[in-house]
Amino acid sequence: MKKLTVAVIGCGGFAKSFVPLFKAHPNVEKVYVCDLIRERAEDYSQKFQVEIIDTFEDSLARKDISTIAIFTERHTHGPLVIKALKSGKHVYSAVPLASEVDECQEIVELVEKTGLTYMMGETCIYYPSSMFCKKEMQKGTFGKFVYAEAQYHHDIHDFGAKFLSDKKSAGVPPFYYPTHSTGMVLNAAGTYVTKVTAFGYEDTEMDGIFEKGVNMWDNIYSNSYSLMKLANGGVARINECRRIGYKAPSSYVSSFYGTKASYQFNNAQHLLVRQLGPNKVDLDDVSDDVNPYEMTQNKGNADFKVRVANHGWQHGVFSPQQKSEIERLPESFKGLLNGHMGSHQILIDDFCTAVYTGTIPTVNVWLASRFTVPGLLAHQSVVKEGLAIDVPDFGNPPA
């Protein structure tokens, strides 16, 4: 087993949470950083005491670099991942897998052909609401899966000045970034999408974001809503909204129904309803099992719900659902920055362990494709006024 040498590509807002984690992981030998904008790489280099690699292409040519970690803008991932795999590198990539169905298929085939590791950093599979539904599903609490609802609600004004100033990409179709919402339901239900139909909200704000001739997709839809038919016989309602009077919790499973039980969520309250017999159900408030520890400690505060609605206690925190994941984290992660409900540390440990031990990672390429492709086709359905579209599946990970 050989330790990883990692080149982090893209020194923007997100990667700064991950460079220290790669550096601290016991399976990692060395970390480099790279950005098209030299000052950003220099800033990272100073802040995190890492060397700079001039270009992405240089990192591919270097024999001592085994691993590429991609943190570039969301629509750039596909071509970069393909080049990295073709150069014999393991790949960690921020979401999504890619922005074209063909690219997703090519990436799956490259991983199958080369045996290299690809992992997509889907933060939401470690969101406690999704972990709770997955565990109860596996225990049989829900019986057969029937229906679920999940969404990623993130108003465009919340994206920050840098994101909004890039007019060509700020108006990206909402369903080109589908993996938080699809991932939470599909991972919990253990299934994949076979067909999708979707509608969109045509934006009317005229602020140079979701307008024809402005963004590179000519996209006019700021919100999109879909129904996805699943391979297990169930259906999911998945929404991606970017113009919405709402803030947090932004990515959540809001309901998950089976033949024997159901889960419902609203703000910080999580309810589990189980059938006891033909005419009676049992109701448990499971909020303390699902919410992060810090949230539970503060639930008596007068402003508790307002703080939750403003993203309180949803970043560098852990929940009882993540107990076994926290226990296996390396000691060297203690005190380091975390994020997205404690998922950053877990994801980096998943990836570094998988590459080092030659095992299949959690959000492997087959899963990443199942989370991404339905969204890409949902946008096609939006454009075609709800046309039902078959969703191809690129298979299961090897046993």
Nearer to ligand NAD, 44 or 356 (CB): 44
Nearer to ligand NAD, 83 or 195 (CB): 83
CB of 397 to ligand NAD, least distance (A): 21
Binding to ligand NAD by CB under 6 A, coded x per residue (else -) over 144-163, reads ------------------x-
Count of beta carbons in the 10 Å neighbourhood of residue 358: 9
CB of 108 to ligand NAD, least distance (A): 19
Q: According to CB under 6 A, which residues from 282 to 301 bind ligand NAD? A: none
Among residues 34, 65, 170, 348, the one that binds ligand NAD under rule CB under 6 A: 34
Does residue 48 interact with ligand NAD by CB under 6 A? no
Among residues 26, 37, 109, 233, the one that binds ligand NAD under rule CB under 6 A: 37
Does residue 319 interact with ligand NAD by CB under 6 A? no
CA dist 236 and 226 (Å) reads 8
Residue range at the interface with ligand NAD (CB under 6 A); choices 3-11, 106-114, 193-201, 283-291: 3-11
Among residues 31, 95, 220, 354, the one that binds ligand NAD under rule CB under 6 A: 95
CA dist 131 and 290 (Å) reads 9
Does residue 352 interact with ligand NAD by CB under 6 A? no
Does residue 36 interact with ligand NAD by CB under 6 A? yes
CA dist 215 and 172 (Å) reads 7
The two three-digit tokens of residue 290, written as one number = 């699902």
How buried is 329 (Cβ within 10 angstroms: 0-12 exposed, 13-18 middle, 19+ buried)? Answer: buried
Among residues 3, 5, 14, 337, the one that binds ligand NAD under rule CB under 6 A: 14
Q: Which residue is nearest to ligand NAD (CB)?
A: 12
Among residues 4, 7, 8, 9, the one that binds ligand NAD under rule CB under 6 A: 9
How buried is 245 (Cβ within 10 angstroms: 0-12 exposed, 13-18 middle, 19+ buried)? Answer: exposed
Interface ranges with ligand NAD (CB under 6 A): 9-15, 34-37, 40, 56, 71-74, 76, 94-95, 121, 123, 162, 340
